[in-house]
Structure 1
Amino acid sequence: MTSPSPSTTNSKSINESINGSHDFTIRGYSLAKGMGAGKYISSDTFTVGGYDWAIYFYPDGKNNEDNATYVSVFIALASDGTDVRALFELTLLDQSGKGKHKVHSHFDRALESGPYTLKYRGSMWGYKRFFRRVSLETSDYLKDDCLSMHCTVGVVRNRVEGPKQFTISIPPSDMGQNLKYLLETETGCDIAFRIKDETFKGHKLILAARSPVFRAQFFGLVGNPNMDEVELEDIEPSIFKAMLMFIYSDTLPDSDELSSSVSMCTSTNMIQHLLAAADRFGLDRLKQLCEAKLCEEVNADTVATTLSLADQHRCSQLKAICLKFAAANLGAVMQTEGYKYIEQTCPLLLSELLETVASVAVDERPGEGGGVLSRKRSGSSVMGLDLAAAQMPAAAESGEPYVRRLRRRL
């Protein structure tokens, strides 16, 4: 019979400070002078960390030997307590607006000397020679016979945490699943969308809450809350279905969920259309999700169409990524139908691409700061540029004639 292995327990000691602040203003400072050394003016008590505290201001100083040369300021423990450990900060406020406050902080020295220990009620922390009185009375700290101070106290507490004996597990949110169930079962649907030969049902309130376009259509100034059917054009049924699933679940649908109706050739093609739909209906989060997905799937075959899409729908990050990728792989990209489309219909976008190519060429020239970048480029990037150069013999000797040749084609 084997003996059971010894169990292991754990705990941790946590030291922390509970901080609080108090502002103390002395009006009629000149009337307080002459009350004698050791005599003070006190603030109202304030509570920090379960203890009461007060600020003591000595206009003639705390010690007789100083002969009223200095004013003294202290923070005192004003309630019962034994060995109370605390951190302190006293700030005399500059009233000129220049922000040159006089700060005496114990917090800054916490790691060097540790917190200060107050043994009993009436124990104090502060400065007997806080400020030379002559200097104080000619400074910006005194204005209209008024002084202002800010005090911060941090009471140090220690607690021990052991293993939690009881826990209650919280399941993840299922709101999206519940709303998606309403969509799938058509429970309570009050609007139908007709797209080609297919019909999709939904809930006007949910659609309006998610899309500003639907909100305006159903409940806007010129909207019709009584409509029960909408006919949509310029969108594929499969794309609208995917968009509906996102509206109700806040996640991109899986390809399996759309397999029965997807007519798109590739996943990338579908995400491109879904991005356009997201922009059309004001679904910013869906648009960003599509951007991120397309960024992951950028390749020589798809980058031109994605670039055109990003430009059309104002996707600046995706556009920048596509420009850099296309510039580094231009030889392969120029063979695609997407590039031909850009060449024929988007001269400004093609000009941006050529500017990116030119910047890449500058980066790759030795002796002009581009050596490190050139070494980091992948083999496919270099091959793409070589292929483009091979297609135009006039550009074989340098990248610049190649760029000029493409620009003339505009």
Structure 2
Amino acid sequence: MATTTTSTVTTIAAQAYHVLKINGYSNTLKAGRHHPLSSCPFSAGGHTWHVSYYPHGCRDSNKDCISIFLVLEDIVTEEDVMAKATFSLLDRYENPVPSYTYHTELRNFSTSSGRARGFENFIRRDELERSEYLNDDYFAVAAHVIIPKEKPSVVVPPSNMHLHFGDLLVSKEGTDVKFLVGGEMFAAHRLVLAARSPVFKAELFGPTKKGTIDAIQIDNMEARVFKALLEFIYTDIWSEIGHGKDNVAMAQQLLAAADRYGLQRLKFVYEDKLCNHIDTCSVSTMLVLAEKHHCCKLKEACSTFLSSMSPPIVEDLNSSIFGSELEKTVSSSENHESQINRTDIRIQPWQNADV
């Protein structure tokens, strides 16, 4: 028997997105059992809320877990408050971790039925402590709160357009153009490429369009980079940056490739991510990359990093950037070529949460 997946359409009256930053995780473990720490209050839907964090769990049965709750601070007397909350553990770059994203249903928050909704077993402490999500005694949890205007009544399938286009790319059905990149052949659809990239549109349909040649050769790009580029064009999904120099180099190449083909969204994504991977070994390459591809945010991040270093090291780095290393760095870069406001919330150990 086939199963179907459905989602509920909610007319949103208000929403808020807050990041609870636990800076000093080990210190929070000194709190007593069942003792919650709370975030600063925030507003959504005309009400005041906060997030409660229990480092030792909220019950004896989950004392080895971390508990997270959304708490309504207001005293509600006339009617219940409907709200939906999503809690996501964030990685070191503050991207939600899919396997640690939890959704509460649309629930009533009231004085009589309770003013807290959340998860008693959000994550085991030992699992968090072994994971990459705890870095330098710091981790973060995002809380996304939605206040609906009315009770949801329409059930529709979730959007899966990206899956259909991804299948189209994989199956190669109806492809009408081929690319030779780094010794590998890639088949694609002219209309899809033209719809997503102004550069591909000019190359495939403009006055200087390429004719019916066997394959269009793309130089100065690795096959894996072009493959990732195609996957983004078809699905609007990008690869995350892992650890290690090779992963950072891949991100640098994807930024350059995105700029080359006018994919501004992808370019901004990797510019933002690379800002978190600047060190003494990479800052010269990053700065040249920022200059060449007009990445103001990355350039600013490099400048901030350099200004935080001692003068002798900065002088050495400047020499490598603007001296004989410049040509080498440029060559390396070529070859590997309405939002919701985010508010940081600091834990206040002296503020207790009434859950």
TM-score bracket for the superposition, by shorter chain length: 0.3 to 0.5
Structure of higher RCO (CA pairs closer than 8 Å, 6+ residues apart):
2
Write 1 or 2 for the structure with the bigger share of helix: 1
Write 1 or 2 for the structure with the bigger share of strand: 2
Q: Give the TM-score of the pair, scaled to structure 2.
A: 0.46
Greater radius of gyration (CA): 1
